Amino acid sequence: MPSFDIVSEVDQHELTNAVDQSNREVANRFDFKDSGAKFTLQKESILLTAPNDFQVQQMVDILEGKMAKRSLDIKAIEIGEILSNLAEARCEVKLKQGIDKESAKKITKIIKESKAKVQASIQGEQVRVTGKNRDDLQDTIQILKQADVSLPLQFINFRD
């Protein structure tokens, strides 16, 4: 039976490139000269530090622009609140990896409501869709691309 998996992952290599380009732009921009503003890529988040909260907000815009240029979905990040003190301001941007239970249930509900002849099953942080023919699976992919899901979805392991 043909099947495919629905996942939500961020390409780490492209994300690293986007953060490096953002750091380069902050280093070269006139309004950030000698301010010590920087992006730090951590395991599950990106830490933005700058002298004040206005500059941190500008850095968020820079990061979103660089991610868009590198074909990374903006839905994959969750911007935290800006914490500031007298010396500096910080903001943690969390990365959304994997499909949580609630989103997986929403995806399976969308598939069932589409009346397509496919079955969806939740397997950890991914959803597996199986069907009798390839056309039904491709129709399901199109339905999910048009649906409003709060996560960026990728369709992998397409098998006949």
pLDDT tens sequence across 87-114: 899 999 999 888 888 888 888 888 888 8
Instruction: Please state, in angstroms and rounded to a whole number, the distance separating the CA atoms of residues 90 and 56.
Output: 7
Instruction: Please state, in angstroms and rounded to a whole number, the distance separating the CA atoms of residues 115 and 53.
Output: 49
pLDDT value at position 116? 79
- We report the CATH number of the domain holding residue 46 as 3.30.70.990
Q: How many CB atoms lie within 10 A of CB 115?
A: 7
> What range defines the domain where residue 141 resides?
3-8+98-159
Please give the single-letter amino acid code of residue 49.
T
Q: Do 87 and 126 belong together in one domain?
A: no
Q: Which residues contact 85 (CB under 8 A, 6 or more apart)?
A: none
Give how many domains the chain has, as a whole number: 2
Segment 54-68, tens digit of pLDDT: 989 999 999 999 999
Q: Do 37 and 105 belong together in one domain?
A: no
Note the pTM of the prediction, 2 decimals.
Answer: 0.81
Of 50, 76, 95, which one is at a domain's C-terminal end?
95
Q: How many CB atoms lie within 10 A of CB 109?
A: 12
